[in-house]
A = this chain, B = another copy of it.
Amino acid sequence: MDRKNAMSLEFDSKSENESFARIVVAAFAAQLNPTIEEIADIKTAVSEAVTNSIIHGYDGREGKIVLTCAIEGSKITVSVMDKGRGIEDIKQAMEPLYTTKPEMERSGMGFAFMEAFMDNLEVISAPEEGTTVTMTKTIDEIKLFS
């Protein structure tokens, strides 16, 4: 397949947009004819990234989040960007169970989930500048021929 497609979505940092962002990614990924499980994986990873931008990046304040998706062949690249507070020590932040908001549910497992559900995860961040999380996943094509 030499399919190519791209989209970019900007939305307000509001908790009701977490579900919205999930559907947008699922609807875009649908072109790759994924299984329900593959869609669930991508949606989970996107939820974690968007929630992080809302609760850590902007800490409940107003701000814009940019979600981009690109399809190349059978690979989808999803990135979530905020211009929020940023992360000081990325390596530490990505450690399972590490969290700066221990009062929340599922604490400290967001990055671990993104890594588990996607093939690749990259985090770029700088304090007071913001954070960009980029994830890729290749959708299994064998099912097309089986």
Which residues of A pack against B, CB within 8 Å?
5-12, 14, 16-17, 19-20, 23-24, 27-28, 30-31
Given contacts A10-B7, A11-B6, contact A27 B31 (CB under 8 A): no
**Distance (whole angstroms) from the CB of A72 to the closest CB of chain B:** 13
Given contacts A23-B23, A24-B27, A27-B24, contact A7 B12 (CB under 8 A): yes
How far, in angstroms, from A123 to B30 measured CA to CA in the complex?
31
**Distance (whole angstroms) from the CB of A89 to the closest CB of chain B:** 32
Copies assembled: 2
Q: A8 contacts which chain B residues (CB < 8 A)?
A: 9-11
Known: A7-B20, A8-B10. 14 other contacts (CB 8 A): A5-B12, A5-B14, A5-B16, A6-B11, A7-B11, A7-B17, A8-B11, A9-B24, A16-B31, A20-B27, A20-B30, A20-B31, A23-B27, A24-B27
How far, in angstroms, from A115 to B23 measured CA to CA in the complex?
27
Q: A6 contacts which chain B residues (CB < 8 A)?
A: 11-12
Which B residue's beta carbon lies closest to that of A9? B9
